[in-house]
Structure 1
Amino acid sequence: MIKLNYKIVRSPKRKKLTITVERDRSIIIHAPEGTAEETIRRVVESKRQWLFDKINHTQKYQAPHAPGKELVNGESAPYLGREYRIEVTETKSGMVEFSRRFMIPLIQQSRRREVLRDWYLNRAKETILPRVKRYADALGVKVAEVNIVRNRYRWGSCTVKSNVSFNWRLIKAPMFVIDYVIVHELAHLMEGNHTPRFWNIVRANCPTAEKAKAWLKEHGQILEEEV
């Protein structure tokens, strides 16, 4: 029998045992403090087939962040679900500017991939943070801290301390996808597991949830490119 390797993360605030599969195919067991190793082992064994199906998913768990294409005049980059032309040119600010196209300053040509990534990160903060507050108010949940992160494997995450984080690469996706990921993570503050109640909360607050899940399944690898 093939052995399943997993990492156990215990917390005194956690009431239920949950299992997650990260985008690098690693298995994380989140367990209440004091949970016996044998109990965890039995739960993992009961989920063996489900876990193998997850880690062998042909799309969701591809090698992350395929190298992006070279940034030159005439190429394009995604933003909020659409592709926009890249132009390396003089800009008034000396920084990346956007007006129906990406304008990367000549002075930053040698760092064009890095400065465009920084631009994405700033737009992600400007766009995602206010929407998290709006959806948190609608759901009636209290969020301790919101972060935009350079996460390697997940679109979003939440902790038992009510902190939520979102991958800056989401800014490349359509707004309905961003909203879905936000609602998904906030719903976990109400229901830790992917139970029917959890999905009812998500669908009630994000009617395009299924469309967003399908979009991520088809286009997620594009978002994971370096830029």
Structure 2
Amino acid sequence: MEFNYTIIYSKRKTATISVERDREIIVRVPEGLSKKKINEIILSKEKWLLEKLNHNQKYNPHPSNKEFVSGETLIYLGRNYQLQIVQKPVQNVVFDRRFIISKYNQANANKLFKDWYKSKAIEKIKPITKKYAKHLGVEYKEIKISEMKYRWGSCTKGGNLLFNWRIIKAPSYVVEYVVVHELAHLIEHNHSEDFWNIVSIQLPNFDKAKEWLKQNGEILEIDF
């Protein structure tokens, strides 16, 4: 079977293959490795790639059916909170052990909540990133909250860190894992054993966060 894939050359010594959440196959290989050899590596992983590409839970989240009416729940930091629609004018979204919006903003609720989640994401992620960057002895340029439909985070070559605003719906320990994961890429640009050792030193129980994302990632990907 033939696969479409993107090749990324670097000074690394080994080849790695990953399947992103948008089903894109990324092959990271040493500089100078021939296309023929890369194709042989891909073919040797055919069964594994087919399993990844056909993983419905990971790649096909269920559509949202939120109506934004009183009694519905929305997830934030791993917990569900009820929504209350009030008669009085209320600007934006109010959060106090429950979500509150005005009936006058009900028709615009989707945008209001997306903006609220984005603001909370940057508020929570910035101090976590600063803390673990200091622990790891790395520097980054900017933190950006992005519309990343199939990734939780990304580390650019220029040292910018991008985070999916939806990750703020996950428990705090999962948010920490995603931050450490991207910071670790400032040291190791792959998912080698060294990379995971770096992550595990900062977060000994990172597997718990990985498993949570595996089991609940599709919930986060639903906007509302």
TM, length-normalised to structure 2: 0.89
Q: Which segment is superposed worse, 191-200 or 166-175?
A: 191-200
Matching of residue 20 in structure 1 with residue 8 in structure 2: no
Matching of residue 203 in structure 1 with residue 200 in structure 2: yes
- Structure 2 match to 1:182: 179
User: Quick one: distance in 2 between partners of 1:159 and 1:34?
Assistant: 23
Do 1:71 and 1:112's aligned partners in 2 also have CA atoms closer than 8 Å?
yes
Do 1:80 and 1:172's aligned partners in 2 also have CA atoms closer than 8 Å?
yes
- Structure 2 match to 1:43: 41
- Structure 2 match to 1:6: 5
Letter in 1 for 2:47: Q
Please report the RMSD computed on the Cα atoms of aligned residues, expressed in angstroms.
Answer: 2.1
Matches within 5 A, 1:149-160: 149-160=146-157
User: Quick one: distance in 2 between partners of 1:36 and 1:146?
Assistant: 36
Structure 1 residue 201: Cα displacement: 1.2
Do 1:89 and 1:105's aligned partners in 2 also have CA atoms closer than 8 Å?
yes
Letter in 2 for 1:6: Y
Matches within 5 A, 1:1-227: 2-9=1-8, 14-16=10-12, 17-30=15-28, 35-61=33-59, 63-64=60-61, 66-90=63-87, 94-227=91-224
SS of equivalent to 1:43: helix
Structure 1 residue 78: Cα displacement: 0.5
User: Quick one: distance in 2 between partners of 1:164 and 1:20?
Assistant: 20
User: Quick one: distance in 2 between partners of 1:90 and 1:143?
Assistant: 45
Letter in 2 for 1:95: N
> How high is the sequence identity, in percent, across the aligned residues?
48
Give the total of aligned pairs: 222
User: Quick one: distance in 2 between partners of 1:102 and 1:185?
Assistant: 30
